[in-house]
A = this chain, B = another copy of it.
Amino acid sequence: MSTIKDIAAEAGVSVMTVSNVINNNHSRVSPGTEKRVREIMAKHNYVPSMVARSLISKSSRIIAVLLPIWYASSASMLRDPYAGQLVGHIEELLREKEYYVMVCSFEQVSQVLKIQQTWHIDGMIQIMPHEDAVTRELIQQSRTPLVICDRHFDDLQMLSVCLDDHKGGYLATKYLLEQGHRDIGFAAPAVFESAVIHARYMGYLDALHEYALKENSDWVFNGTIHQEGGEEVARRICSMQKRPTAMLATEDLIACGIIKGCQECGLSIPQDLSVIGFDDSMPSRLITPALTTVAQDVHAKAKTAVDMLMHAISDPDFRNQHTVLDVSLVTRQSVRPL
């Protein structure tokens, strides 16, 4: 494997001239010399060492994609299809810009700081929310630009990309109301611990209030985890004397679980219960009936996060921006007019 020295020797120039052609300092090397050097580099498949370069420049062109580990699980969040999709898009966008992406699961902030330092990481994007305390600490301690997805703190200087979650909850609930539903339930993993979920919940409440309705606490299900949680909710709904006519779930998988669970205990969807999900992910098109859901644009989220990060890397003053992405309702077959 040849080094800059070998190339310089063979070209009969100094190491620094080779360095100048690598770095396209056209003003510092004559066209003839450049051509000769480039030919020799090509001939030897010479690739400059990023490790040597970053030792000097304190910059590596590595972006860390941060994946929280918590929530009673040491498993990588990459297993979540949404996370995979988001990281996939981010990787594509960063590759186009000639950045390298390092994927880092972490529980504690110190792990991130260590990696950041040891590799001279140029920037970071946190995918999936962590515990608020951890995220806050990370924002405060990070020494490189950092973009947080799906979480924002008003009192902190930070870069974030979020969804208009309130609008999502509102849109879905309003749609159900317009379809004539008045008995509308809500199922979510953690209404009060997660800001994202809480915003959707507030949207739900606000829509109800607009129709002078109040929530029925029997129909608000907290701690609903994925499909299994949805199925459990369905069983509880089935056994109720007074059932809701519609359910809003904060995740497609939960909505699918509700549908499946209801079908198993003999309710039919949407005749006996209308259901709306959130995200417009793959399951929404798989389930029968196809799921009406609040759609988010994952590619736009990735693009926004990457653009913000690039901006922050080139401009040290760009350290505080909160981008809110729009959501929209996709109507399919899981809701019936009443």
Interface residue stretch chosen among A169-177, A216-224, A285-293: A285-293
Nearest CB to that of A74 among chain B residues?
B92
Within 8 A of B (CB), among A105-150: 105, 113-115, 117-120
A83 CB within 8 Å of chain B: yes
Choose among B67, B87, B282 the residue that contacts A78 (Cβ–Cβ < 8 A): B87
| CA gap between A114 and B98 in the complex, in Å | 12
Interface residue stretch chosen among A31-39, A47-55, A184-192, A308-316: A47-55
Contact of A263 with B288 at beta-carbon distance under 8 Å, contacts A51-B60, A92-B76 already known: yes
CB distance from A51 to the nearest CB of B (A): 5
Contact of A76 with B89 at beta-carbon distance under 8 Å, contacts A84-B83, A115-B100, A286-B287 already known: yes
| CA gap between A81 and B283 in the complex, in Å | 12
| CA gap between A83 and B283 in the complex, in Å | 17
Q: Which residues of the partner chain B approach A75 to less than 8 Å between Cβ atoms? A: 88, 92
| CA gap between A92 and B103 in the complex, in Å | 10
A30 CB within 8 Å of chain B: no
Interface centre among A74, A78, A81, A227, by most chain B C-beta atoms within 10 angstroms, is A78
A95 CB within 8 Å of chain B: yes
A154 CB within 8 Å of chain B: no
| CA gap between A100 and B112 in the complex, in Å | 12
Choose among B47, B51, B81 the residue that contacts A114 (Cβ–Cβ < 8 A): B47
Q: Mark A146-180, 1 if CB is under 8 A from B, else 0.
A: 00000000000000000000000000000000000
Q: Which residues of the partner chain B approach A285 to less than 8 Å between Cβ atoms? A: 227
Contact of A101 with B102 at beta-carbon distance under 8 Å, contacts A81-B81, A283-B286, A285-B227 already known: yes
Question: Is B79 within 8 A of A85, CB to CB?
Answer: yes
Within 8 A of B (CB), among A224-265: 227, 256, 260, 263
Interface centre among A55, A60, A74, by most chain B C-beta atoms within 10 angstroms, is A55
Contact of A88 with B76 at beta-carbon distance under 8 Å, contacts A227-B285, A288-B288 already known: yes
| CA gap between A235 and B335 in the complex, in Å | 25
Nearest CB to that of A52 among chain B residues?
B55
Q: Which residues of the partner chain B approach A288 to less than 8 Å between Cβ atoms? A: 260, 263, 287-288
| Apart from the given pairs A47-B118, A51-B119, 6 other A-B contacts in the complex at a CB distance below 8 Å | A49-B120, A76-B91, A80-B84, A101-B103, A102-B102, A227-B285
Binding site for B on A (CB under 8 A): 1, 45, 47-52, 54-55, 60, 62, 65, 67, 74-81, 83-85, 87-89, 91-92, 95, 100-105, 113-115, 117-120, 227, 256, 260, 263, 282-283, 285-288
10 contacts between A and B (CB under 8 A): A50-B118, A51-B120, A78-B87, A78-B91, A79-B84, A81-B84, A81-B282, A95-B105, A101-B102, A282-B283
